[in-house]
A and B are shown apart, each in its own frame.
Chain A
Amino acid sequence: MNTDAMEILLARLFASPNELEQFLRDRESYARHCGLAHPQVAEVLEIDAASLRFAANSFERKRRSRD
């Protein structure tokens, strides 16, 4: 299991709304580009998009409120 790559993928999605949109447009390509191997790619295809957006928006709001 390549958890480092998965953690980096999550950081990219949570750090940047643009990255999130790219991911949601084509999850598989994005995951492979991040260096995830097959079992992890399958897992990111399963992420609930609404919860992911909710989490990413929450991080974005927190960043903005601090700036």
Chain B
Amino acid sequence: MNLKDRVGLAWRDELATQIMLHLESIDHLEIVAEREWSASRRRLDALHDLARQVPISLHGVSLGLVSSGSVSEGRLERIARLVKRVKPDHWSEHLAFVRVGGFEIGHLAAAPYAPQTLAGALRNLERAREVVGAMPQLENIATLLTPPGSCWTESEFIGRVVYGSGAAMLLDLHNLYANACNFGQDPFVILDSLPLEQVASVHLSGGHWESGADGRSRLIDDHIHDPPEAVYELLEMLARKAPQALTVIIERDGRYPDFAALLEQIARARAALLIGRAHQREITARHAA
């Protein structure tokens, strides 16, 4: 594969044995940071050793950086300690808020796509860079609601946060796909509206359709189903358009299939990257001629 694109998996303890047996097929591992906050010294040593065998990233899920409120110093310090200890390739967090004003949502929610949120996000990201020593890659989230109080689209808001902070983007293609489906938009148009040259990493996962009381079906990102075909098509388009190397991570949080099926998903992602890169080369050659 050109450009040193990498394809790997999100680390889950349930998959540990199989991951270690198949490291030759896995270019990258992503570890949820919060799950390691209480890790023993022995486990942290093991993670550090793992990071020397294969590039790993630490993935935060609870900082709530994209908020008009301030990020918790304590949480940042825990990330900083983990980063210092494990020495990952990079770390990442979500374009989301998790708590504000004493109210704890406990999960990732979209704050209004508005100047106050942008200002808070840029402040929080700068603080994260100071405390942790590096800017996180920023992941787009799945949301069932366009936050009231928004004056920009999600893509415009993401662009402003990413360019304003200088952060790279972790583009979750299933979150993008789910939002596009749920808001009646074309996922390929949405992809094109994002700052693709800032994308460093990619998440692939799956979800399920659920009917609401209003009779409408919505696609819920759940990480317990296989990535749908559309997600690979989006990856192919991204590989066609993004000039930089990409690290692609398959996320699976439960209902684990045979490991062979996960390896097949890795292979499917590699194939999508190859096709996209071939198109990119073709286009570049045509322009040069």
- Nearest opposing residue in chain A for B144, CB measure: A55
Whether A63 lies near B106 (C-beta < 8 A) is yes
- Residues from chain B with Cβ under 8 Å of A10 in the complex: 109, 111-112, 147-148
Q: Does B140 contact A (CB under 8 A)?
A: no
Interface residues of A, dominant DSSP: helix
- Residues from chain B with Cβ under 8 Å of A15 in the complex: 103-106
Contact status of A62 and B107, CB under 8 A, knowing A3-B115, A8-B100, A11-B99: yes
CB distance from B252 to the nearest CB of A (A): 16
- Residues from chain A with Cβ under 8 Å of B92 in the complex: none
Chain A stretch 1-30: residues in CB contact (< 8 A) with chain B:
1-4, 6-8, 10-12, 14-16
Whether A3 lies near B114 (C-beta < 8 A) is yes
CB distance from A65 to the nearest CB of B (A): 10
Q: Does B195 contact A (CB under 8 A)?
A: no
- Nearest opposing residue in chain B for A47, CB measure: B148
How many angstroms from the CA of A54 to the CA of B151 in the assembled complex?
23
- Residues from chain A with Cβ under 8 Å of B112 in the complex: 3, 6-7, 10
Whether A12 lies near B148 (C-beta < 8 A) is no
- Residues from chain B with Cβ under 8 Å of A4 in the complex: 68-69, 100-101, 116
- Nearest opposing residue in chain A for B98, CB measure: A11
- Residues from chain A with Cβ under 8 Å of B104 in the complex: 11, 15
- Residues from chain B with Cβ under 8 Å of A2 in the complex: 116
Q: Does B67 contact A (CB under 8 A)?
A: yes
How many angstroms from the CA of A12 to the CA of B104 in the assembled complex?
8
Residues of A in contact with B (beta carbons under 8 Å apart): 1-4, 6-8, 10-12, 14-16, 40, 43-44, 46-48, 50-55, 58-59, 62-63, 66
